Structures are given as C-alpha cells and as structure tokens.
Amino acid sequence: MDLLLDGFATALTPTNLLFAVVGVLLGTAVGVLPGIGPAMTVALLLPVTYSVPADSALIMFAGIYYGGMYGGSTTSILLNTPGESSSVITALEGNKMAKNGRAAQALATAAIGSFVAGTIGTVLLIVLAPTVGPLVVQLGAPSYFAIMLLALFAVTVVLGSSKLRGFIALFLGLAIGLVGMTSGQPRMTFGFAELSDGIEIVVVAVAIFALGEALWVAAHLRRKPLEIIPVGQPWMSKADWGRSWKPWLRGTAFGFPFGALPAGGAEVPTFLSYVTERRLSKHPEEFGKGAIEGVAGPEAANNASAAGTLLPMLALGLPTTATAAVILVAFESYGLQPGPQFMTQNEALVWALLASLFVANTLLLVLNLPLAPVWAKLLQIPRPYLYAGILFFATLGAYAAGTSSFDLGLLLVLGILGFAMRRFGIPVLPLIIGVILGPRLEEQLSEALEISRGDYGTLLGEPVAITAYVVMALLLVGLVVARVRGSRSTTPTSVTEKDEVNA
C-alpha cells in the first residue's frame, strides 16, 4: 500500500498529471479516427519523448492506451465506423441505439463501463502482477486453439434468423483472413504482392462498416426524405443503470484474463461478452435493434483487456497487443527491461505507472462523460455532409493502416461487399469474427501439430483445452434442447388454434 501511495504522489505531480491529460486526450482523439489507433500514436510520439523523463513518458503512453481504447467506441456508436478492431462489436448495438435517439446513453454506458472495468482491471493488475504473472506462459498452443475455436463456435448463437446467410458471412470472413503467405508460399493473393502480408483487420472493418453503410445510405437518400436523428436525453435513466451494471462486471471478467493471455487481445472477449449478454438478457428482442447491454458489456471487456495486457508485459516482458509491443519499445529506449525482476528493481517507476492507470481512467470518465451529448450532436449533421466526412476519415484510416495506395482500392472492393451484404441481409458480425480469428486459429493449430509431429491427440493434451471442448459440447446440447422444446411448444398451440377455427 505504501508503494502505491508513493506511486500516486509521483503520478499526481503537476507535470505528470499534465502528461496524463495530454495522453488521454490524444488517445481519445486518435481512437476516433479509423486505423490511426493507440499503437501508431505511441510509435509516432516515441522520438518526441526521448528528452522527457521516463516516468512522465510512460504515464502519457498509459493515458494514450486507455484513451485510444475508449475513443474507438465513439465513432462505432455514432457513425457505425469502428476506430479499432476491438470496437467492432460495440458498433452492432451502439449505432442502432444512436439511430433510435439514444446516442448519449450509448456513449455514457461506454464511458462508465470503461471506467468500472479499467479500475477493476488495474486493481487486479496490482494484486496479480507480482505473483501470478509467470503462470500465464504455461498455456500451450492446444489451449489457445481450443479457446479461439470456442469463440468461433459461439458465433452460431448470433447468426440471426437465417443460419445459411450467417455461415456465408462466416465463410467470407475466414476466406479474407486466410489471404497472405503461408509456409513461404502466397495463398489467395491473386498475383498481388501487396496481399502477401494479409489484409489489415482495420481496413476490413472500416470498409464493411463505414464504407458499406455510406454506400447503403447514398443508395437510399433519394427514396427517403432527409431526417434528423434526435440526440435524446443526455443521461442514463434508472432502467439503463439497472441493465448496464451486470454487463459491466461480466465484461470485466471476460476482458482481463484474455488481455493477460499471450495471443489474447480485446477482440475475443468483446465478442464473447456480446454473446453472453444476448443469451442472458431479459430483453433479447432488442438485440440487433439497440440493446444497451450489447454496448455496456463489450466496452467493459475492451478496457479490462487493456489492463490485463499490462500483466504479462510487466511481469514477463511479453507484449500481447501491438500497443503493448510499442510501449515495450518505449521501456527499452530508457534502458528498462520488463521481466520477472523488473518490478523489484524499478519499484518507484512501476508503481507510478500503476497509479497513473487509475489517474488516466478517472480522467477518461471526467473528460468524456460530460462530452457525450456533444459527441451525440454529430448525428444532427445532414447526412450527405456526415457521410462525406466518414468517407474521408475511412480513406485516411485505411491508408494509415498500411501506408499503401493499394489499400484504398481494397477498401473500395470490400466496401462494395459490405453494401451487398446489407442488400441481401447477410449479417456482418460472423464475417468480422472470421477475419479476426481465422489466422490465429490456423497459427495455433500449426504450432500444436508441429510440436507434436502431426499428432492430433495433442489438441486434448491440456486441461484448459478440454474445458473449452466441454463448454462447446454443452452449448451444442443446449441449442438442440432449445430447438426441441421450441418445436414441442409450438405444436400444441397450432393444434389449439385449428380447433378454435373449426369450432
């Protein structure tokens, strides 16, 4: 406790507090721009901070990290344009809430959920980092493969009314995810050398969501009169609070452990949080139409994973996300090497960084919650101007993701695909999940089989893997039982109705 209080004393000095404010504002601002995420921002600012003391620079980077995780939710909610791949799930319900005149409530539950999850995640980080960190690396490729297969299997829960269309979307996502080099050979590159490194998930997300939405709106502008979407009341109601606090906690429970896993990240826990809230909600009919639980849970998982990511980085020197890798480079530029002895050899710096996470998280809430109605007023901009701006930032983000003009052509092709999916009622979520998890699933399977020399039995060789397969089996049984019960419950009703008609 004394070490943490000393850390707060360092983090709350006027200079370091200013760096924290700058970091949060920069992180939120760049999180709003598709493709220009916290990893790129930290990388761009690295040369600027060489003359800044180590504690101040790292405190600012922590602010950028947390701010960037929240900033991506802003355009996801308002414009259906995810700023980060981890904000893709937020767009599903958040944008629907915005179109229903509840943009401010969606932004508010995202901000408060981020604060709750970030605070709990930071507490867990402080408690676990000195003792439990080394346990994280004991999981092998079979466990990671099983966990990701579980997430992919769970996508069947949210495929929508048409399973065929859902599987078409999932197949398209897996196909896009498989583009690139494998074993030194190009795969599905169609002769384009630019595709050898694969397709950036940010380009896919921006094209399918933002460009597809803009093309869809443009196609219908002449058929429908221009309407101004109301902002709505600026604060969450008692019912909104009642429907949000449990998803915040459940999202935190998903986000932190996945953030701490090597090969983890925020995409899988945000998706699992969404699936869980859809299954547990007392208002399942609202999902797909603007359910607040579908924003609260994934956003909490998003920020909790940010805190979890710092656990293996500090305790093991093992980054699990691109931003964590860049922050690790920042540590090394100051002659610091995170690892098992890092926290004991650099106590003052480490505890100042941990305290600054609380500070950055609080600043995130203080700065963004009052701005929720202001951000929501973006929806009152006439749609031709609004979507022209979306196209501009989408193009900027797609170019920034790979700094290649080829990505702009790719953006247009995938944007047309997004438009076609809306035209034929094909759900977007399975495609995005397939793009994210497909390459990771293949990588972990290849690693597991390479280590075992082709023995598929190794996939059942770890307790975590077995647990994941058991959960999948239980989910499958649950779906079959629900289908059987549903068919039985509808049959008597239809018979009764026929009898009444005959009578």
State how far the Cα of 212 lies from the Cα of 79, in Å rounded to an integer.
Answer: 12
Domain count, the chain: 1
Tens-place pLDDT, residues 198-215: 887 777 877 887 788 778
Q: Would you say residue 259 lies in a domain?
A: yes
Neighbours of 46 (CB within 10 A): 16
Backbone angles phi, psi at 46, to 5 degrees: -55, -50
Residue 324: is its pLDDT beyond 80? no
- String of DSSP letters for 407-419: HHHHHHHHHHHHH
CA-closest candidate to residue 406, choices 172, 119, 266, 196: 196
Structure tokens at 376: 């929501």
Average pLDDT over every residue of 209-235: 66
Rg (CA), the chain: 23
With residues binned 3-state (H G I as helix, E B as strand, rest as coil), the percentages for the chain, rounded to 5, are 80, 0, 20
* CA atoms within a 13 Å half-sphere pointing along the CA-CB vector of 108: 21
Distance of CA 86 to the CA centre of its chain: 2
Cβ contact 269:259 at 8 Å: yes
- String of DSSP letters for 59-82: HHHHHHHHHHHHHHHHHHHHHS--
Q: Would you say residue 498 lies in a domain?
A: no
Give the mean pLDDT of the chain. Answer: 78
Q: Which is higher by pLDDT, 437 or 22?
A: 22
pLDDT at 68: 75
pLDDT at 45: 67
Q: Would you say residue 489 lies in a domain?
A: no
pLDDT at 226: 47
Tens-place pLDDT, residues 409-443: 888 888 899 899 888 888 777 787 788 778 878 88
Q: Would you say residue 177 lies in a domain?
A: yes
Percentage of residues in the chain having pLDDT higher than 70: 80
pLDDT at 490: 56
Q: Would you say residue 494 lies in a domain?
A: no
Q: Which is higher by pLDDT, 438 or 400?
A: 438
Q: Which is higher by pLDDT, 29 or 302?
A: 302
State how far the Cα of 79 lies from the Cα of 437, in Å rounded to an integer.
Answer: 25
Band (pLDDT 50/70/90 cuts) for residue 232 is low
Tens-place pLDDT, residues 124-134: 888 887 676 55
Q: Would you say residue 226 lies in a domain?
A: yes
Band (pLDDT 50/70/90 cuts) for residue 35 is low
pLDDT at 120: 92
Q: Which range, 111-115, 184-188, 199-203, 452-456, has the best average confidence (pLDDT)?
A: 111-115
Q: Would you say residue 36 lies in a domain?
A: yes
CA-closest candidate to residue 357, choices 111, 32, 123: 123
Residue 34: is its pLDDT beyond 80? no
Q: Which is higher by pLDDT, 399 or 252?
A: 252
pLDDT at 500: 42
Q: Which range, 137-146, 153-162, 216-225, 377-386, has the best average confidence (pLDDT)?
A: 137-146
Cβ contact 111:70 at 8 Å: yes
Average pLDDT over every residue of 38-67: 76
Q: Would you say residue 493 lies in a domain?
A: no
* Residue 233 structural domain: 1-484
Lowest mean pLDDT, pick from 78-82, 88-92, 136-140, 362-366: 136-140
Average pLDDT over every residue of 272-301: 88
Residue 162: is its pLDDT beyond 70? no
Q: Which is higher by pLDDT, 494 or 334?
A: 334
Structure tokens at 374: 């202001």
Lowest mean pLDDT, pick from 82-96, 289-303, 351-365: 82-96
Cβ contact 84:44 at 8 Å: no
pLDDT at 222: 59
Residue 157: is its pLDDT beyond 60? no
Q: Which residue has the tokens 């100051």?
A: 334
Residue 263: is its pLDDT beyond 60? no
The C-alpha torsion from 340 through 342 and 348 to 354, rounded to 10°, is -60
Q: Please, which residues bridge with residue 365 across strands?
A: none
Band (pLDDT 50/70/90 cuts) for residue 40 is low
pLDDT at 331: 81
Say what the pTM is.
0.68
